[in-house]
Every structure is written in structure tokens, then in C-alpha cells.
Amino acid sequence: MKRRTLIGRALTMTLFLAGGGISAVGAPLELDQPGAEILREEPDATLLQSLLPPFTATHVDRDPDAEGWGPLQLSPSGRYLFAVVRTGDRQSVVLLDADGTFIRDLTREQAPFASASWGVTDQQLLLEFRGEPAARPRFLIHNPVSASTAAAPRAGLPEWALGGKDYLLGLSTAERTAGGGEVPSTYQRYSAAHAPVGRPLMADEPVWRGDGQWLAFLAASARMSEPASPLQLREVRVLPARGEVPRVVISRGGWERLAKEQSWQQASGPESLAWSPAAEALFCLVTARAELDGQRFLVRLDVRTPRREVLAVPPGTEIVSVSADARHWIVRLGSRLFRLDFKGAPPKKRTAAI
């Protein structure tokens, strides 16, 4: 396990994600204009170091702290973005180009409550509108290419795996409480034929692997409920798309060992769970306190070995969105957003087993 801390302002920005050689430091970041100039002006521009193949970074022309704007969400191929925007008592779904350029507002009428998710391809943006929280929602499907909108064939906002073989659907409040008591963050897996797969899954931040064969998610450990525990850290687990028994990538005990190695006195998280482009590692962000005040750490978790790497990053660093194949990222660095595009062809064949 390694810990890397970045110091200095020289522009050697190379990212923290997983690539081919795990031990090697990645190639210097190549920057598109105007990204290079903006990065040079950004105080936290030197915060990342790479374990990745080369990639390019482009500034996304959106303020991450803009009032009313929700997180940007990349389309399956990374070509488009959408965001849910609140203006007064109205919510709208806004379609953007990959660099943050406004394309169109997809809300045709006043919609106090709106949400959306991407379908199997970039030509399927699923929309949900309702007048009141308890009102019956309307589901539409928008094609960004043809700029056409039609009624969606099915209700719900599924989270599709790449290739369209399986999807996740969050259970409604009524479904979550049917057995008595509120059960947060519960999902049901379905096949493309809309047949349920396995039992409901209690999970936070579920993310499909780039080939759709595995699902990674966060799960609360038993000791997180102890208010006196200084380590409020969730387990990271992976589950085969059609499997029933998850595998633990890092357990509560694993976090405790890592915290001891890093001299963390308190820690919470993780969050921003994401697969690496080559799918051999997972990344997440942890907030922890050692000798200094609370700090932000990026943690790399190898999914096949116990290897962990930790990178100290400034507060506010965030993995905002990842495309379905994990080859395009939106990241927040300081007060700015950047799009990262990883070079080279995707792996021809990922290992099905983990």
C-alpha cells in the first residue's frame, strides 16, 4: 500500500485512476485549450498524479457551485450531459454538450419536480415529471440527436449496464417499506426483458462495470451505527450481474487497517465510487482527520488483490460522473469542472471473474 501526497504548483497533472502498470507513474497529462490555461490559474491544479494511460483534459464550462444546478451526468458514450436545474418553484432537465455548452431545456411545461436518467444509448434520455411529490409521474424519452420527445414505453428511470443486458431500478417508498420499516437505497435488478434478477439489493452508489458483468456498490457495516465509532466507513462490495452473493473488496476490518497505516483518527465515507477504465480497480473518496484538520483522500482499491493506494487531495475534489464504459469522466478540481477522456482503444476483453 502506498500513500502519495502532491506538493507544489508545477503543472504535472496526471490522474489517480487505474491503468495498466499498477506501480508505474502515468504519463504527463495532455491538456486541450483552454483547459491548460485554466488549470494553470487553478490553485489546486497540481493535486493529482496518475496511474493511468494517457488522457486529455478539457474544461467544462459550468460552475459546480451554481445555484440550483444538480450534478452533471454523462451519457453512455460521453457525448452529452444533462443536469436537473431548479429555478424558483420549477425544476427542469437541461441538455448540454460534453464541454458544458447549453443545447436545450427539455421541460415543456411547469414541472415542480423533475428527474432523468440515460438509457442504453445516447439517443435515449429518460425523463420524469410530476406536479406534486405524490402525484402520478409522466415518463418521456428524448432523443438528443433528433431532438424528438415521445412517451416512454415503461415507467421508471432505470440505470442501464453498458450493452443493455441488465438494469437497476430504485424501489419506491411503498416498495421499500412493504416489509415494515424504511429501508433506504434499495434496488432491484432486471434483465433487458424486464424480468427481475435476484433479490432486492440494499446498496448505495451502485455502479456497473464497463462491460456490464459486475456491479459495485457501498454497503453499511454493522459498526457504522455505533455513534462513538470514529470510523464511519462503508464496505465496498462487487456482485456479478446475475449473481446473488457479493464479494467484499474492502471490509470494515480492511478500513481499520488502512486508517491505522494512514494515522487517521476519524474518517467517513467512502463516496464517489467509480470503476477504473480497465476495470481492475475501484476508486472512492474518503474524508479523514489525522494530525491536521479534516482532509480529503482518494483511495484506489484493487479488486483482485489487497493492494490499496491513498492520495491526499484538496477539499471539494469529486468524481462527478463517469460514462458507461468508464472511459470519460467529469471531475471537480477546486472550483472547476473538467472532462477527462482516456486515450487508446478500450480493452478487447475484460476478465469476467473477479
**C-alpha–C-alpha distance, residues 257 and 267, integer Å:** 12
Task: Look at residue 296 and tell me if it is in a domain.
Answer: yes
The pLDDT tens digits of the residues spanning 65-120 come to: 888 999 999 999 999 999 999 888 788 899 999 999 999 988 766 577 888 999 99
Q: What is the arrangement of strands in the sheet containing 148-151, beginning at the earlier edge strand?
A: 113-118, 125-130, 138-143, 148-151
Percent with pLDDT over 90 in the chain: 45
Please check the confidence at residue 20 and state whether its pLDDT lies above 50: no
Domain of residue 281: give its range: 2-342
Residue 246 binned pLDDT confidence (cut-offs 50, 70, 90): very high
At 25, phi and psi to the nearest 5?
-80, 135
Task: Look at residue 61 and tell me if it is in a domain.
Answer: yes
Residue 284 belongs to a domain with what CATH number?
2.120.10
Mean pLDDT of the chain, nearest integer: 79
Report the pLDDT value the prediction gives residue 225, as an integer from 0 to 100. Answer: 53
Task: Look at residue 350 and tell me if it is in a domain.
Answer: no
Task: Look at residue 351 and tell me if it is in a domain.
Answer: no
Based on the structure, what is the number of domains in the chain?
1
The pLDDT tens digits of the residues spanning 106-140 come to: 876 657 788 899 999 999 999 998 877 678 888 99
**Cell 457504522, residue located:** 224
Amino acid at 325: D
Q: Which helix (H) or strand (E) holds 118?
A: strand 113-118
The pLDDT tens digits of the residues spanning 259-315 come to: 999 999 899 999 999 998 889 999 999 999 877 677 888 899 999 999 999 888 778
The pLDDT tens digits of the residues spanning 195-233 come to: 999 999 999 999 999 999 999 999 987 655 556 678 899
Please check the confidence at residue 335 and state whether its pLDDT lies above 50: yes
**C-alpha–C-alpha distance, residues 303 and 325, integer Å:** 17
Beta strands at 90-97 and 196-202: parallel, antiparallel or unpaired: unpaired
Report the pLDDT value the prediction gives residue 271, as an integer from 0 to 100. Answer: 93
Report the pLDDT value the prediction gives residue 342, as an integer from 0 to 100. Answer: 77
**C-alpha–C-alpha distance, residues 177 and 325, integer Å:** 34
**C-alpha–C-alpha distance, residues 326 and 74, integer Å:** 10
Query: 202 and 181 in contact (C-beta within 8 Å)?
Result: no
Q: Classify residue 224 by its DSSP letter.
A: G
Task: Look at residue 349 and tell me if it is in a domain.
Answer: no
Amino acid at 284: C
Report the pLDDT value the prediction gives residue 14, as an integer from 0 to 100. Answer: 35
Single pTM value for the model: 0.81
Residue 258's SS3 state is helix
**C-alpha–C-alpha distance, residues 219 and 316, integer Å:** 23
Please check the confidence at residue 40 and state whether its pLDDT lies above 70: no
Best CA proximity match to 258, nearest among 327, 216, 190, 306: 306
